[in-house]
């Protein structure tokens, strides 16, 4: 057994803590509107420039198991709230760092874990007392929430357009549920990106937009009362795996062969036509000959549709996805009010609108270049999610480090009512929360010590909304400055950071196993140094 196949006790702990802290410090400089960007370069030389925590952590090639846990919580945060991904990683790093201080003093990790858990629970209670209720009809507030999520994502100059688009899109898919509202952004909002034109060419379409044109110009450009057939199978012959050869010895045979081929293509086309559909979306190819017959029947056909689009079409039009042409029945055909091809900046697209019993909408996003549209897309994604979350929960807190400072103060007051070592852990938790305003100040080039002193004193005076204006370096009322965020960002971030930290602290033995859990680790077993190096091989 090589020595690094097992790390135990203190070594295991400090090694894991170091790894967690390393991940946190990698994204810390990107936090907030003034955060720096990272340029991510993959092995093919492709680049992504972003300061979106989720994107950075997703793209980084991280090997250390404890570091991966931080990446996981950040991903969960992204899935649950769509924002606050940097916050959760930075907070985890700080909680680990504070825990390390306690371990040095001889406090057992189990005690720290219990204290942290207790503190996170208390945070939830305190947060409830500083939340502000928002009605789902309060459009102005929703626009501010979208704006806060967009800030710092390289899309500021488009903040107004993007926020308005976000709120319009989310409000159009709100579903009423008993006692509240449900917003399923992932399922009901499709973002279609197009490089070409400017953001002002972007639009919200009530229905689905598919980035494909009809397969032949002779097909109708517009089909009203569309009856839609969805195919995941090709309308052509599959190529054989092996090379095949047909020997033809006379011109007559050649004709026979071609006739036969045409006959089979005609049969395929007829199966499609017999469905009664006037629109066909096919995930695979459509043979030119088959297309000829389909076009003659006046059908609007689209080929090579993405699988994800086919799934959305299935949901929106009610049509079944057919895997075998022989299985088509007239009952499989879905419906839509209108299917038409439209010219947009940068090409033609197919619009499927007027779908009954469906909430699906598409945001058609335009931007000057690929990189611009990509960054708009990331910003829009965050904004759509947070607005959805606020409509569901109806609760917000103010940002700019304000809620973290208030929490920190109230939590340390609470800690003083506790006894023994638990008190130490809860106070450290309170201290750790200050990392958010601190990092916001640092990233804005402000003096974090001065800023923290001012913030604390304002909150002690009872200004619960006092936070950092990162542009002017002043401590101001964040509510009046329109920096507001969903309550769920904070509760989820605090809880997830606590869970990850506790999990890491409780490990005192790291063993290289042979099972699937060992995937992603180097051949040498365990990594002996936390390493964020992109290509690190152990
Ligand atoms: P995350 O991935 O955690 O959302 P961001 O880079 O989006 O990270 O930064 C979020 C932090 O920036 C939050 O603490 C939020 O309150 C703060 N923030 C956003 N907009 C502003 C602003 N205009 N002024 C001050 N702080 C802001
Ligand atoms: Mg954010």
Alpha-carbon distance of 13 to 126, in angstroms, equals 31
Residue 212 Cα, ligand 1 centroid: separation in angstroms?
Answer: 37
Angle (CA) 68 104 123, round 5°: 60
Q: Long-range pairs for 38-46 at CB < 8 Å and ≥24 separation?
A: 41/534, 43/535
Residue 484 Cα, ligand 1 centroid: separation in angstroms?
Answer: 9
Which residues are annotated as catalytic?
A: 52, 85-86, 382
Q: Please report which ligand is nearest the Cα atom of 30.
A: 1
Q: Whose CA is nearest to atom 26 of ligand 1?
A: 400
pLDDT at 5 (0 to 100) = 65
Q: Please report which ligand is nearest the Cα atom of 483.
A: 1
Ligand 1 pocket: which of 27, 31, 444 to mutate (most atoms within 8 A of CB) = 31
φ and ψ at residue 347, rounded to 5 degrees: 145, -170
Hey, what are 377's tokens?
A: 């897309």
**Using CB atoms within 10 A of its CB, is residue 7 exposed (0-12), middle (13-18) or buried (19+)?**
buried
Residue 485 Cα, ligand 1 centroid: separation in angstroms?
Answer: 9
Q: 338-377 in b/e burial notation, b at 16+ Cβ within 10 A?
A: ebbbeebeeeebbbbbbbeebbbbbbbbbbeeeebbbbbb
Alpha-carbon distance of 437 to 405, in angstroms, equals 7
Alpha-carbon distance of 503 to 69, in angstroms, equals 9
Ligand 1 atom closest to residue 53's alpha carbon, by position in its atom list? 2
pLDDT tens track, the chain, 538 positions: 445 567 777 787 888 888 889 889 989 999 998 888 888 887 788 888 888 788 888 888 788 888 888 999 999 998 888 899 999 999 999 999 999 999 999 999 999 999 999 999 999 999 999 999 999 889 999 999 999 999 877 667 788 889 999 999 999 999 888 888 988 888 889 999 988 888 888 899 999 999 999 999 999 999 999 999 999 999 988 766 677 777 888 888 888 888 888 898 999 999 999 999 999 999 999 999 999 999 999 999 999 999 999 999 999 999 999 999 999 998 999 999 999 999 988 789 999 999 876 788 999 999 888 888 888 898 999 999 999 999 999 999 999 999 999 999 999 999 999 988 899 999 999 999 999 999 999 999 999 999 999 999 999 999 999 999 999 999 999 999 999 999 999 999 999 999 999 999 988 777 777 765 544 444 444 444 444 443 333 3
CA distances from 362 to 287, 326, 474 (A): 30, 33, 40
Q: Whose CA is nearest to atom 25 of ligand 1?
A: 400
Residue 440 Cα, ligand 1 centroid: separation in angstroms?
Answer: 8
The binding-site residues of ligand 1, defined as CB within 6 angstroms of any ligand atom, are 30-33, 35, 53, 83-87, 148, 151-152, 399-400, 436, 440, 468, 470, 483, 485
- Give every CB contact of residue 524 below 8 A, 6+ residues apart in sequence: 2, 4, 538
What are the helix (H) ranges across 435-486? 435-443, 448-460
Element containing residue 180 per DSSP (H, E): strand 180-182
Ligand 1 pocket: which of 440, 468, 475, 488 to mutate (most atoms within 8 A of CB) = 440
Q: 240-265 in b/e burial notation, b at 16+ Cβ within 10 A?
A: eeeeeeeeeeeeeeeeeeeeeeeeeb
Alpha-carbon distance of 323 to 152, in angstroms, equals 45
pLDDT at 133 (0 to 100) = 94
pLDDT at 210 (0 to 100) = 94
Neighbours of ion ligand 2 (CB under 5 A): 83
Token pair 């992109």 is found at 534
pLDDT at 357 (0 to 100) = 64
Alpha-carbon distance of 532 to 261, in angstroms, equals 58
Residue 101 Cα, ligand 2 centroid: separation in angstroms?
Answer: 29
Q: Whose CA is nearest to atom 3 of ligand 1?
A: 84
Ligand 1 atom closest to residue 485's alpha carbon, by position in its atom list? 16
Residue 473 Cα, ligand 1 centroid: separation in angstroms?
Answer: 15
**Using CB atoms within 10 A of its CB, is residue 167 exposed (0-12), middle (13-18) or buried (19+)?**
buried
Alpha-carbon distance of 119 to 116, in angstroms, equals 5
């Amino acid at each position: 057994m090589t020595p690094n196949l097992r790390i135990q006790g203190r070594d295991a702990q400090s090694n894991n803590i170091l790894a967690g802290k390393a991940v946190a410090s990698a994204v810390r400089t990107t936090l907030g509107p003034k955060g720096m960007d990272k340029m991510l370069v993959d092995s093919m030389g492709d680049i992504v420039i972003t300061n979106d925590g989720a994107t950075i952590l997703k793209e980084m090639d991280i090997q250390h198991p404890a570091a991966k846990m931080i990446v996981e919580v950040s991903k969960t945060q992204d899935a649950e709230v769509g924002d606050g991904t940097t916050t959760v990683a930075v907070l985890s790093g700080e909680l680990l760092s504070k825990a390390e201080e306690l371990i040095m003093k001889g406090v057992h990790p189990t005690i720290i874990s219990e204290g942290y858990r207790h503190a996170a629970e208390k945070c939830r209670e305190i947060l409830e007392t500083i939340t502000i209720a928002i009605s789902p009809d309060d459009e102005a507030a929703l626009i501010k929430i979208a704006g806060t999520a967009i800030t710092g994502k390289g899309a500021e100059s488009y903040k107004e357009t993007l926020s308005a688009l976000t709120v319009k899109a989310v409000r159009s898919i709100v579903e009423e549920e008993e006692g509240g509202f449900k917003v399923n952004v992932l399922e009901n909002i499709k973002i279609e990106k197009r490089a070409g034109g400017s953001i002002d060419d972007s639009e919200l379409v009530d229905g689905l937009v598919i980035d494909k044109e009809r397969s032949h110009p002779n097909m109708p450009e517009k089909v009203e009362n569309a009856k839609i057939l969805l195919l995941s199978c090709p309308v052509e012959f599959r190529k054989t795996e092996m090379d095949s050869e047909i020997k033809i010895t006379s011109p007559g045979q050649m004709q026979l062969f071609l006739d036969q081929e045409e006959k089979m293509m005609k049969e395929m086309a007829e199966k499609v036509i017999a469905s009664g559909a006037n629109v066909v979306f096919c995930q695979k190819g459509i043979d030119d000959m088959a297309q000829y017959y389909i076009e003659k029947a006046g059908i609007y056909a689209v080929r090579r549709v993405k699988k994800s689009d086919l799934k959305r079409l299935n949901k929106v039009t009610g049509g079944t996805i057919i895997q075998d042409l022989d299985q088509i029945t007239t009952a499989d055909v879905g419906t839509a009010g209108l299917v038409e091809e439209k010219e947009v900046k940068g090409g033609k697209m197919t619009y499927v609108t007027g779908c009954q019993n469906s909430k699906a909408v598409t945001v058609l996003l335009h931007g000057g270049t690929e990189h611009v549209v990509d960054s708009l897309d990331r910003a829009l994604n965050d904004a759509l999610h947070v607005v959805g979350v606020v409509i569901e929960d109806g609760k917000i807190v103010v940002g700019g480090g304000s809620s973290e400072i208030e929490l920190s103060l109230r939590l340390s007051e609470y800690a003083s009512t506790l006894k023994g070592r638990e008190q130490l852990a809860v106070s450290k938790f309170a201290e750790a929360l200050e990392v958010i305003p601190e990092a916001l100040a640092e990233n804005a080039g402000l003096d974090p010590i001065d800023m923290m002193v001012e913030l604390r004193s304002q909150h002690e005076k009872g200004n619960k909304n006092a936070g950092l204006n990162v542009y002017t370096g002043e401590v101001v009322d964040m509510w009046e400055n329109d920096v507001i965020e969903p309550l769920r960002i904070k509760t989820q971030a605090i809880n997830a950071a606590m869970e990850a930290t506790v999990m890491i602290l409780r490990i005192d033995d790291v063993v290289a196993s042979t099972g699937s859990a060992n995937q992603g680790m180097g051949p040498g077993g365990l990594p002996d140094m936390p390493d964020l190096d992109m290509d690190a091989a152990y």
